[in-house]
Structure 1
Amino acid sequence: MTVLFECVHRGERHFGCEAPVDGAPLRLYPLGGEDLRARLLAADGDGAALVAALTEGREATTVPAAERDTVTFRPPLLPDSLGDALVSGFMQTHNVKADATTQSQPNWFFKGLGETLKVPGEALAVPGDAVAVCEEAEVVLVYVTDEAGVPRYVGYTFGNDLTDIGRFKRHNGHLSYAKLCDSGVAPLLFLDAPPESVTGRVTIERDGATAWEGTFTTGTKALHYGLPDMMAELFSYTPLLHPGRVHYVYIGADRSSFHAGFRTADRDRVEISFETHGVTLANTVDWR
């Protein structure tokens, strides 16, 4: 799988084209004035050619494993103007949640702008009056809107759609409020079609000890809805189609710790391991 990520190393912006491995050196290239979003649009889905073009003639920097703490990862393709990033998603999309009341099109929700995206190691903020918060391990689709106002798919990553599910359960008309929590996101952008099957494990730690563990299954095969239909409906609405906007779309989750009867507390550490893809998100939940 071809990947791309952005980071800051010793005060300078860099990018990388290989998935970071724990305990191993990190190979980086100076970003300079490169616009990765524009280059992705120009590549039109050819990830291998994009990587070859980006790295040709650039001198790589190798960060030793012992100096990995000098590297700060960024959400994939996050614009410098955070208002140009829109974070949203769909609810109850998975087969395990479908029943007789399931609608022909899933509900869509807005989570926030670019500042709500948090990479591993950063705290995930939730409202101080949240009722019951849960993790949601999800595939995240990334779209860049071109100059003609057409959102074009450029790849996927993984995320944690943190949700005040208690508020939604108390009043299902409050979905929009329930979703206004920070979103965990992996820094890796996979330059491939959305994955059909993703499996993994959630571990929630409290005061340094495991408080809850569970597994999950996601990916396009787990969806009750056809992904092309979902996205076509979403992007049929003109107010979303501002040129240059980057969309991060969370496509729904399997059951969570809440469905198993667990209640997340302030300062809990939530670790989501997307085991099939070698990606782990770990964030502390912060009631504010």
Structure 2
Amino acid sequence: MFLSQLHLPDGTRVVAKRQGETAHLVRGASGTRELALAAIEAGRSLADEVAFRGVGDPVDLPAALAQGRMLPPVDHIDPAHLHMTGTGLTHLGSASTRDAMHQKTDPEDLTDSMKMFRMGLEGGKPAAGQIGAQPEWFYKGNGYAAVAPGAALTSPGFALDAGEEPEIAGLYVIATDGRPFRLGFALANEFSDHVTERGNYLWLAHSKLRPASFGPEMLVGDLPAHIEGVSRVIRDGSTIWEKPFLSGEANMSHSLANLEHHHFKYALFRQPGDVHVHFFGTATLSFADGISTRPGDEFQIECTAFGLPLRNAITQDPNDAAPVAVAAL
């Protein structure tokens, strides 16, 4: 089952359920966050809450996406209470690209990236009830940096690169008693500045403070162990780069449970009502193949297991390259 959020042509905000080829509106639902909190309060699963409410009129999701009416599959009425975070070096093969970016002079001297990756290989999938190795973790931003499917990803004027990262994101809400609940999973583009990251590994945090997009649809249920998708960069109507990407636990050095524990172990991330979008990482980047994107290019991330493809164009804001002056009071 897939859930999505969108606006109808008259501006009404709705939630749609798709099972098979046809999507229908979920009765009495204007947001997946509220739907999830209602399910928790009633002691039901999200799927059971949808079944309890039932569905109404059919809705054309591809048309809504083409017309710019799709929203991220979960959001928050106060964008400051949606947290976008992620983990890197979590996928088999992900270390090679990062290692090349941060290579040391002595090939026998392992980079911090390779050391972190090995920690995951050796201890990222602990037995049930045990805690495994800590993954790399980073902050992307809050809901103000969440970009709707089909909308443009805007790179700041000071950015040195605007590169895609095709990933799977986990979508979560925190219950009133502080327990984190996973709503489902979505395709995601963890948009980053790889040139800045390559300049100095300690600039990784800067390179991740960029907008990101996820959706259009949310897969409700378990994450498939093996996921195959395709990532593309389109320029002037032609594909200039295309490559398959893999995800799912069968292709990862960490279990989802371990990644989730090391995020939600912080009480800061268990505040009632908050929404979390957590990016699980990737091993595939156009940047690793020498692609330099530019405004007007479009990213396309497709995987049939996650419904509609995620597409976002690139723009750049020329107005934020000047120094920021802070006024004293």
- Please report the TM-score for the alignment, with normalisation by the length of structure 2: 0.78
Distance 1:62-1:33 versus aligned 2 partners, 3 A rule? closer
Paired position in structure 1 for 2:285: 256
In structure 2, runs of 5+ residues without a counterpart are 96-112, 120-132, 318-329
User: 1:121-200 counterparts in 2 under 5 A?
Assistant: 121-200=150-229
Q: Which amino acid aligns with 2:35?
A: L
Q: CA RMSD in A?
A: 2.4
Paired position in structure 1 for 2:3: 4
Contact 2:161 2:194 in 1 (8 A): yes
Paired position in structure 2 for 1:90: 87
Deviations 1:187-229 (CA, angstroms, capped at 9, x unpaired): 3221112231211111211122221111111112211122212
The answer as to 2:77 corresponding to 1:80 is yes
Paired position in structure 2 for 1:101: 115
Distance 1:188-1:44 versus aligned 2 partners, 3 A rule? farther
Please identify the structure whose Cα radius of gyration is greater.
Answer: 2
Out of 277-286 and 82-91, give the one that drifted further: 277-286
Out of 183-192 and 33-42, give the one that drifted further: 33-42
| Alpha-carbon distance between aligned partners in 1 of 2:233 and 2:152, rounded to the nearest angstrom | 14
Contact 2:135 2:262 in 1 (8 A): no
| Alpha-carbon distance between aligned partners in 1 of 2:83 and 2:90, rounded to the nearest angstrom | 20
Displacement after TM superposition at 1:62 (Å): 3.3
More strand by share: 1
Q: Which amino acid aligns with 1:101?
A: K
| Alpha-carbon distance between aligned partners in 2 of 1:152 and 1:65, rounded to the nearest angstrom | 26
- Please report the TM-score for the alignment, with normalisation by the length of structure 1: 0.88
Q: Which amino acid aligns with 2:199?
A: R
In structure 1, runs of 5+ residues without a counterpart are none
| Alpha-carbon distance between aligned partners in 1 of 2:211 and 2:155, rounded to the nearest angstrom | 7
Deviations 1:209-258 (CA, angstroms, capped at 9, x unpaired): 22111111111221112221221122111222211000000000122111
Percent identity, aligned pairs only, is 25
More helix by share: 2
